[in-house]
Structure 1
């Protein structure tokens, strides 16, 4: 869509949200890369800006990591100092192409202190095979060859479109836990109310940052 028919609603650091993105948040729709990128950037640059141990990787960079040769991983990870971060959040989808797409989001969290990759999937373990391939690729780049990969029990979605909202709510929930306890171990499951509220909460954040949300 051109900019005239899909005007910019908010520019926030590296993120650009358009009217069509806001509509995805307002309605019962699957979330796209732009919304997830924005919220991850908000968590890193605003809500958890005082915790330099936490790194939120955008969906675009996560997808690049999935498809580039192992020898090129440093191009994406080194500028983020990922090899020195204690906790790294990756939004994963089931798209194996370099093009935008996919049909399901899940959340992968790397905890360096606990030497483990933790996978949170709101639709059973439907993304776990993608997760395992991704983790195998990351281990050398992040200097964590002995880290385990574990699927985690978490709140399950009750429809076909809320996987992205689950990822965003879970990312915030886990980051808050890390802020307090410096680990992921002991994290409690989200309750359904947190998912129900999340779309409105994100719209309020966009509005508070100067975005025109109608």
Structure 2
């Protein structure tokens, strides 16, 4: 299952990725990751509800689920509405599987209204290119082709304009070009951080060793519905 991030004119904006958590933040995070009713709603926004069970997929070595990833992507979109950030649209994690199985007719109204390997496709409208990012080094040539056809269908339907596909390129980033995960459980975190860095036009410089901190920060960010 793949997540799509669509990006417009990008502007560099630096934030401190080394921010340490306070004692109060650590306690709040620990409480959310601790014992309690699995169906207890801990955060609600973007027409999404995050339960304690969802939050607990952010424990170390756990696989992130759709709810957590979709919520985090919406936080990125909200951040990028501020001045100085690029225009950003993040598709739901359910978008690509629906597009692949049902074609354009299955998703043409999309923007209106288990253990899976996570990867990311970033569409840069400035450069007319699609990049596939996979923290396990897999290639996404066919995925990019399907999404490029979606862009063509969307342009015809919404703007009555045919894209010149010869002007578009797509590319699977190689393992030596982007940081790779060192275990079998961090693909969701890598996907989220790829999106975070790309949406700030920032080089991807984080490492596997930062994942425990990133997981904790994401718990706090989801609880408070804002990025650190």
- TM-score normalised by L of structure 2: 0.68
Alpha-carbon RMSD: 2.5
**Structure 1 residue corresponding to 2:55, chosen from 22, 28, 31:** 22
Unaligned runs of 5+ in 2: 1-36, 156-162
Are 1:65 and 1:76, in contact at CA under 8 Å, matched by a contact in 2?
A: no
**Structure 2 residue corresponding to 1:117, chosen from 130, 150, 161:** 130
Q: Which of structures 1 and 2 has the larger relative contact order (alpha carbons within 8 angstroms, sep 6+)?
A: 2
Does 2:171 align with 1:150? yes
Deviation at 1:130, TM superposition (A): 5.1
User: 2: CA distance between counterparts of 1:21 and 1:5?
Assistant: 8
Aligned length: 176
- TM-score normalised by L of structure 1: 0.72
User: Match for residue 222 of structure 2?
Assistant: 206
**Structure 1 residue corresponding to 2:81, chosen from 36, 45, 49:** 49
Structure-2 change in CA distance of 1:194 and 1:48 (3 Å): farther
Deviation at 1:194, TM superposition (A): 4.0
**Structure 2 residue corresponding to 1:105, chosen from 118, 134, 159:** 118
Structure-2 change in CA distance of 1:149 and 1:174 (3 Å): same
User: 2: CA distance between counterparts of 1:205 and 1:119?
Assistant: 26
Structure-2 change in CA distance of 1:209 and 1:54 (3 Å): closer
Are 1:154 and 1:190, in contact at CA under 8 Å, matched by a contact in 2?
A: no
